[in-house]
Amino acid sequence: MGQCQHYLLSLHENFKTTMRRLTIILTLIIAFFSITNADAQRRKVRARSKARTHKVVKTKRKAPVRRIVPPTIHENPYLQCEDTCTHVHGIDLSHYQGEVFWETVGENTHMAYVYLKATEGGDRIDARYERNIDLAHRYGLKVGSYHFFRPRTCLQLQLENFKTQCLPGEQDLIPMLDVETTAGLPVNEFCDSLLQFLHMMEQTYHQKPLVYTGRNFYNKYLQGVLDDYLLMIAMYTDEEPVLADERDICLWQYTGKGRIVGVTGYVDKSRFMGQHGLRELRFKH
C-alpha cells in the first residue's frame, strides 16, 4: 500500500506540472495571436489613412468668366441711342408712319429736328405732308422737307412737284434729296442727271440741298460726285459709317427701326456726326 500510494502521488504531481505547462503555453499562444491581430489592425488603419492622404482630389474646373456686353439698339428695339449719348438726334417721316401724335413727339427733348417727305418723282405728293409740317412746327421741332429722286423722270416736272409742297416760308432746314436708285441708267448718265437736278434745287432755294443716300449706294455710284454737298448716310449697324473715299459725313441715319412715343411702328432716326450741328442745315431766308 505504501508504494502504491507513493506512486499515485507522483502521478498527481506530474499531471499538475503538465497542466501548468499547458496553461502557460496556451496563454502565450493567445497573447501572441492577440498581439498579431492588434498589429494587423494598426497596419490596416495606417494603410487607409495613407490612402486618404494620397488620394487625388478632383477639383471642379472654374467656368470661364464671361463679359456681359450690353445689347445694342439693333439687338434691342427698346434701347434708344439718344438715351445713351449726347449727339443731336432727329427723325424723318412720311405717310408710311400713318397718323403721328405730334404733341407727344414734340415733348421728346431728344428729337431736335424732323425731315418730312414732301414729294416723289414728277407727280407724287405725300398725303400727310401738309398736316405733318403744320403740327411739327406747332409743337416745336425744326423742320425740313425732302424729295425722292426718280432719275428717269423729267427733272423739271420733279422740281415743279417739289416746289408746290416745299414752300420756303415753312422751312427751318435746307431741302434734302433722297437718292436711292439709278433706275437702270448708266452710271455717267445717272450722275449727270443727279447733278443737274441738285443744281436746279440750289437755284430755286438759293442754297445747296442736303443729299441722303445709303453707304453702299454711295460707294458704288457716287464717289467723287457730291464733294460740294452735305451728306446724310444711311447704314444700320453699330459702327459709324466710313465712305470708301473717306468723304466727311454730316448726318448718320443709324436705324430704320427706331421707336418713339407718338408714332406707331418704326421710325428712321439719325444724328449729327463729329462737330456737325443744326446750324449747318439752317434754311437761309
Is pLDDT above 90 for 77? Answer: no
Each residue of 257-274: pLDDT tens digit? Answer: 999 999 988 999 999 999
Task: Report the pLDDT averaged over residues 68-73.
Answer: 53
Is pLDDT above 60 for 2? Answer: no
Is pLDDT above 80 for 195? Answer: yes
Predicted local confidence at residue 54, as pLDDT: 47
Is pLDDT above 50 for 56? Answer: no
Is pLDDT above 90 for 152? Answer: yes
Q: What is the mean pLDDT of the chain?
A: 85
Each residue of 89-136: pLDDT tens digit? Answer: 999 999 999 899 999 998 877 889 999 999 999 999 999 999 999 999
* 208: CB partners within 8 A, 6+ apart: 174, 198, 202, 228, 229, 230
C-alpha cell at 186: 448708266
